[in-house]
Structure 1
Amino acid sequence: MELRQLEYFLAVVEERSFTRAAARMHVAQPGVSAQIRRLERELGQELLDRTGPAVRLTQAGSTLLPHARAALSAVSGARLALDELAGLVRGRLTAGIVTSLSSVPVSDLLADFHRTYPEVEIRLTEASSDELAAGLRDGRLDAALISTGTRPPEGLHTRLVVDEALVAAVVPEDPLAAGGEVALADLADRPLICLPPGSGARTGLDEACEAAGFRPRVTMEAGDPHRLVELAGRGLGVAVLPAPFARSHGDRLRGLDIVAPRIRARVALAWSAERPASPAGQAFVDLASAVLPSP
């Protein structure tokens, strides 16, 4: 069994395709297929089900997968430890950002990291906070910007980087617009326009509504906050937005402070508290902690 075979096996599993795995590994597809077949012959069992439109693991493949990950992780860790001993930062940084994140200059942060550590390959993924937290816990991610509510995520270190009040944004002719604030309970029966679950604003809203004993009546979701403004500006519902963003569109919408309780959108830099960081991961956390402001 060779490390290269395990690398190809893992790539096929994650990409669910021999073609995409070959492109990811920068080799020809027949080479990937040949190495996987060789591994299967050596182990005496078929690891991948190739009959469907997407490649799937067999029972034997599922059994091998965690051991393959552990073996490759151990080899990578050994190489990185030696690089760290030599004063180098190399390897790969796998970072994540929560869906719809617009309040953190992620592109600038990654560009700064690349200029400082040009030998590090950077991979970025966007997902819900729950998915990102799971990736941090199982080692698929080095660091991530995730939404956090009132309950700290288990098994993770966090550093708060965004803490913004949420407001209800309505058209000027809406009856709510006459006041400067609105109680959360008064939004219980109103159609709400929100960012998707897992975003900072949505996490704050969902937790507050749960504590108040009702489920928010979310009728429209969009990952782009500008789309929320467009929808609310057509009178299609009440947009729940971070206060700074809502104020920047004050010509179209009236932002009302949500009270009883006041709710906030929070985003934090997160990394594992249960496994040692790779040199690249630690370097990114250090840089992000220095660059990103603390609210």
Structure 2
Amino acid sequence: MELRQLRYFVAIVDHGSLSRAAAMLHVAQPALTQQLRQLEEELGAQLLHRSAQGVLSTDAGKVFYEHALAILKQVADARSAVTQSATRPSGSVTVGLPHSISGALALPLLTATREQFPEITLQLTEELTGNLAEQLKSGRVNLAVLFDDGQLSPFVCTPLAEEELRYLCRADMAPPDDGNGITLSDALSTQLILPGMQHGVRPRIEAVARGAGLATSNVIEINSIAILKSAILAGMGATILPVAPVLAEVEHGAMRALPIHSPSISRTVVLCGSKNIPLTNAAAAVSRLICQVAADLCRSGYWLGARLLDSGAGP
């Protein structure tokens, strides 16, 4: 198996056509077809379905595609690590952010990277936390912001912040505020719209509820933050999330964010890197920058509901 075969296969999948991939790669289509056939013969599996409309990945092809992307990224990172200067890092760095964190971190991190490391190309990917953990293990992303659920032993972890979860609802449908917000029992008794269990925030809510002898019930599950916000604004229910994803709606008065107590709910936000794949100079620089940006956001109060934790040196 050759690296060019991996590049060819990824290009075919990305373009959905042998002819378009051949044109992009500046390779004759018969040669591209031959390399694909050799790859499938070596793997002993069909990777693509071919039709007049183009190509689609088989189940085996979908699995191989993810591995091929990870391998090609690690090769690119290895080249970059050899050529980079420690004092002027450059190259591409991919950082994974959960949906519920990107509203607080994404733009400030992009801005800080452009200002401090103009030769670094920062790529941000927004995913469910379960997907991000798998991508970090495989090398698809260099760094990922995750939540400490006691299962982060495969990674090098640096705490960033303790983030409070609040009861979020449409402003005109807010329950009475007892002066401290709303009790967890009262919050759970309302119609809730929550992410599924594969989303990092949901297991935390369920764990705190169980510890208090409570349980969620009649939950509407929505994994998209955008759709979840639309459902809340349509009056379908409320949610329990950090404030960051709905900060604009809260500031404009469309939604309210009530503190939860008896007990409160929070989660530990951590920056993670792989224990097995070394960071390039550029990735190490971005790691330090993430810690700096998170600290600035906490101190300024811009990251609403987040309390700064000691981040140490970073992954």
Report the CA distance shift for 1:64/1:268 in structure 2 as closer, same or farther (over 3 A).
closer
Q: 8 Å contact 1:204–1:266 — kept in the other structure?
A: no
Give the Cα separation in 1 of the matches to 2:184 and 2:59: 50
Report the CA distance shift for 1:33/1:127 in structure 2 as closer, same or farther (over 3 A).
farther
Alignment of 1:135-150 (within 5 A): 135-146=135-146, 148-150=147-149
Offset, 1:264: 1.6
Offset, 1:202: 3.9
Q: Which residue of 1 aligns with 2:132?
A: 132
Q: Which residue of 1 aligns with 2:230?
A: 227
Normalising by structure 2, report the TM-score. Answer: 0.69
Q: 2:156 matched to 1:157?
A: yes
Structural RMSD (CA): 4.3
Q: Which residue of 1 aligns with 2:305?
A: none
Give the Cα separation in 1 of the matches to 2:260 and 2:274: 34
Q: Which residue of 1 aligns with 2:25?
A: 27
1:258 counterpart (246, 257, 260): 260
Q: 8 Å contact 2:5–2:39 — kept in the other structure?
A: no
Q: Which residue of 2 aligns with 1:168?
A: 167
Q: 8 Å contact 2:86–2:281 — kept in the other structure?
A: no
Report the CA distance shift for 1:173/1:273 in structure 2 as closer, same or farther (over 3 A).
same
Q: 2:37 matched to 1:40?
A: yes
Give the Cα separation in 1 of the matches to 2:294 and 2:203: 21
Could you say what secondary structure the match of 1:177 adopts? coil
AA aligned to 1:164 is E
Runs of 5+ in structure 2 lacking a partner? Answer: 299-307, 309-315
Q: Deviations over 1:169-224 (max 9, x none)?
A: 45688694152343323344421134565656545323323444523432264513
Offset, 1:37: 1.9
Q: 8 Å contact 2:89–2:117 — kept in the other structure?
A: yes
Q: Deviations over 1:246-277 (max 9, x none)?
A: 99459566654322321025433222233211
Offset, 1:71: 6.4
Q: 8 Å contact 2:130–2:200 — kept in the other structure?
A: no
Q: 8 Å contact 1:171–1:254 — kept in the other structure?
A: yes
- Segment of structure 1 superposing worse, 268-277 or 56-65: 56-65
Q: Which residue of 1 aligns with 2:282?
A: 280
Q: 8 Å contact 1:100–1:195 — kept in the other structure?
A: no
Give the Cα separation in 2 of the matches to 1:248 and 1:71: 43
Seq. identity, %: 24
Q: 8 Å contact 2:106–2:124 — kept in the other structure?
A: no
Q: Which residue of 2 aligns with 1:95?
A: 95
Offset, 1:16: 7.6
Normalising by structure 1, report the TM-score. Answer: 0.73
Q: Which residue of 2 aligns with 1:271?
A: 273
Q: Which residue of 2 aligns with 1:17?
A: 16
Give the Cα separation in 1 of the matches to 2:250 and 2:87: 46
Runs of 5+ in structure 1 lacking a partner? Answer: none
Q: Which residue of 1 aligns with 2:312?
A: none
Q: Which residue of 2 aligns with 1:208?
A: 208
Offset, 1:288: 1.4
Report the CA distance shift for 1:187/1:74 in structure 2 as closer, same or farther (over 3 A).
closer
Q: Which residue of 2 aligns with 1:237?
A: 237
Give the Cα separation in 2 of the matches to 1:241 and 1:77: 35
Report the CA distance shift for 1:160/1:36 in structure 2 as closer, same or farther (over 3 A).
farther
Give the Cα separation in 2 of the matches to 1:205 and 1:43: 45
Q: 8 Å contact 2:135–2:141 — kept in the other structure?
A: yes
